[in-house]
Amino acid sequence: MNRKQVLLNVAAFVAFSTVLTAAQMQTPASSKAGDSSAAPTVLTGTVSDSMCGAQHMEKGKSAAECTRECVKGGTKYALVVGKKVYMLEGHEAELDKVAGMKAKVKGKMSAETLTVQSVVPAMKMN
């Protein structure tokens, strides 16, 4: 190999290595598929529905009745924590039992959705 070709090969190697390093730096460490090491999230709030949130719209009905009617109508269960509303996925039968009540919900958080693993009414928490 002549000197010009060696320099071109070295330059190509350095450029390729730089691109790989930059791509690796952009990838979050927690994005590994099947990463089960993430600790579950535990939130305490009022079980509601995604349409009403903290302000129930059914006049003359309790928060529990309104939540159940909205869920029957196609909305999802939600958890109101302060001013924030989190969508809840799964465990609908357990969520139905605590509709309109304060509860402790444990699950895996993804954006604004909590995939429910367990639900405990607030009155049973110690």
Place of tokens 């605590």: 98
**Other Cβ atoms closer than 10 A to 94:** 17
pTM: 0.67
- pLDDT, residue 32, reads 46
**Residue ranges covered by each domain of the chain:** 41-124
Residue type, 91: H
- Residue 103, phi then psi, degrees to nearest 5: -145, 160
Token digits for 91? Answer: 């465990």
Tens-place pLDDT, residues 57-80: 888 899 999 999 999 999 999 999
Between CA 90 and CA 105 the distance in angstroms is: 11
* Strand 113-121 with 41-49, pairing: unpaired
Model pLDDT, residue 89? 95
pLDDT one digit per residue (tens) for the chain, 126 residues: 688 777 777 777 777 677 667 666 665 544 444 455 578 999 999 999 999 998 888 888 999 999 999 999 999 999 999 999 999 999 999 999 999 999 999 999 998 999 999 999 986 544
User: Residue 126 is encoded by which pair of tokens?
Assistant: 């110690």
Q: Kindly indicate whether the domain formed by 41-124 is annotated with CATH number 2.40.50.
A: yes
Predicted confidence at residue 27, as pLDDT, reads: 53
